[in-house]
């Protein structure tokens, strides 16, 4: 398979394909301005590093790399529901897009030296067994000085569908106790840690305990201010009115086998979402795009 991918999509100075961890196929993107890796399993960006910068994404050293299992870290593609299935708890948490194998639709060198990789997932007997809808998903990954990830869902059925989801991005920080997340000041949020009751954000977000919040009615850019790494990670977005901020802290980290016990100290998730009341109705023949642009 890797040979076929390279025959069809390799671009010198931009992208090639190789066997990654667990024997899973991955795209390796290296251009004049940045590098990234993307697993076809889940269309999962696992690393992004502009030249001259430290890695931007956090990836668990204990992650599984197995077909059908979510990779821990990077940018999980959460679709067509965020969190547990609304009515059937036996269905996979955070939907099925991140545990399916996606196909390569296109690879292209862009004018500014960036590299575009387009992956796709169409409805199938496998997906219909989980969710009885006809759809086509594409994930457009543009690697340059910034990383842009755009998830577009097309409704190919004859009835309206309701979807939620997220680009569930894990960012690398030097020490989570010293960072702050800006851009969500004065917003309301649902606090999962205390039973999803509604609270109000005062000032920037500091992380000194488990944090699991869905910020509501926000289309704003966020930034992760990391004084120890002397950087700010900027997260711009479109197609989203909710932003999720998550750090499992010590106890939850210990409960996850694919997450190092002290891994919570060097990561924070800031997720561009359609979560809680921000679910999206997609009419037959219509589409919805959820986009996140990450820059340092």
The set of catalytic residues is 168, 271
d(CA 266, CA 114): 28
Nearer to ligand TA6, 29 or 233 (CB): 233
Kindly state the number of chain residues that form the binding site for ligand TA6, as judged by CB under 6 A: 11
Minimum Å gap between C-beta 1 and ligand TA6 is 27
Within a 10 A sphere around the Cβ of 160, how many other Cβ atoms?
11
Contact 270, 176 (CB under 8 A): no
CB 33 within 8 A of CB 13: no
Nearest approach in angstroms of CB 273 to ligand TA6 is 8
Residues in 23-82 that interact with ligand TA6 by CB under 6 A: 70
Q: Which residue is nearest to ligand TA6 (CB)?
A: 246
Q: Looking at beta carbons only, is 93 or 194 nearer to ligand TA6?
A: 93
Nearest to 80 by CA among 275, 277, 235, 284: 275
d(CA 171, CA 207): 14
Cite the DSSP H helix spans in 25-130.
125-130
Cβ 11 to ligand TA6, closest distance in Å? 32
Q: Is 260 in the site for ligand TA6 (CB under 6 A)?
A: no
Cβ nearer to ligand TA6, comparing 9 with 170: 170
Residue 246 touching ligand TA6 (CB under 6 A): yes
Q: In whole angstroms, how far apart are CA 16 and each of 129, 149, 196, 254?
A: 33, 19, 44, 36
Strand (E) or helix (H) holding 4: helix 2-9
278 contacts ligand TA6 (rule: CB under 6 A):
no
Site string for ligand TA6, 116-155 (x = CB under 6 A): ----------------------------------------
Q: Verify binding: residue 83, ligand TA6, rule CB under 6 A.
A: yes
Bridge partners (DSSP) listed for residue 27: 17, 38
Residues 86-105 that bind ligand TA6 (CB under 6 A): 93-94
Q: Is residue 213 at the binding interface for ligand TA6, with CB under 6 A as the rule? A: no
Q: What residues contact 73, with CB distance under 8 A and at least 6 apart?
A: 46, 57, 58, 59, 60, 63, 170, 267
Among 114, 226, 271, 278, binds ligand TA6 (CB under 6 A): 271
Please, what is the minimum distance in Å from the beta carbon of residue 43 to ligand TA6?
15
Q: Is 239 left (phi over 0), alpha (psi -120 to 50) or beta?
A: left
Query: 192 or 265: whose CB is closer to ligand TA6?
Result: 192
**212 is a contact residue toward ligand TA6 (CB under 6 A):** yes
Alpha helices in 30-146 (DSSP H): 125-130
Minimum distance, C-beta of residue 53 to ligand TA6, in the bound complex (Å): 25
Q: State the alpha helices, DSSP H only, in 135-294.
A: 249-255
Task: Point out which residues bind ligand TA6 (CB under 6 A).
Answer: 70, 83, 93-94, 168, 192, 212, 244, 246, 269, 271
């Amino acid at each position: 398979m890797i040979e076929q991918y390279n025959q069809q999509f390799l671009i010198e100075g931009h992208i090639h394909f190789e066997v990654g961890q667990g024997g899973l196929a991955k795209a390796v993107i290296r251009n004049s301005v940045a590098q990234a890796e993307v697993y076809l399993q889940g269309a999962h960006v696992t690393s992004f590093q502009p030249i001259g910068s430290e890695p931007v994404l956090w990836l668990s050293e204990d992650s599984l790399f197995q077909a059908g299992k979510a990779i821990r870290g990077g940018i999980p593609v959460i679709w067509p529901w965020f969190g547990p299935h609304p009515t059937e708890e036996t269905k996979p948490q955070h939907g099925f897009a991140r545990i399916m194998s996606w196909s390569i639709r296109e690879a292209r060198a862009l004018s500014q030296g960036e590299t575009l990789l387009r992956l796709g997932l169409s409805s199938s007997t496998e997906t219909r067994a989980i969710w009885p809808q006809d759809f086509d998903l594409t994930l457009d990954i543009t690697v340059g000085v910034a990383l842009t990830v755009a998830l577009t869902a097309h409704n190919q059925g004859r009835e309206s569908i309701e979807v939620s989801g997220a680009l569930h991005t894990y960012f690398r920080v030097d020490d989570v106790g010293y960072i702050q997340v800006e851009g969500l000041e004065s917003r309301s949020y649902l606090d999962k840690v205390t039973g999803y009751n509604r609270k109000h954000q005062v000032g920037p977000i500091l992380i000194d305990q488990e944090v699991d919040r869905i910020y509501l009615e926000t289309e704003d850019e966020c930034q992760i201010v990391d004084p120890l790494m002397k950087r700010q990670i900027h997260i711009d977005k479109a197609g989203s009115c909710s932003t999720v901020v998550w750090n499992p802290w010590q106890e939850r980290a210990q409960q996850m086998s694919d997450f190092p016990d002290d891994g919570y100290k060097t990561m924070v998730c800031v997720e561009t979402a359609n979560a809680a009341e921000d679910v999206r109705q997609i009419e037959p023949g219509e589409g919805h795009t959820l986009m996140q642009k990450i820059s340092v």
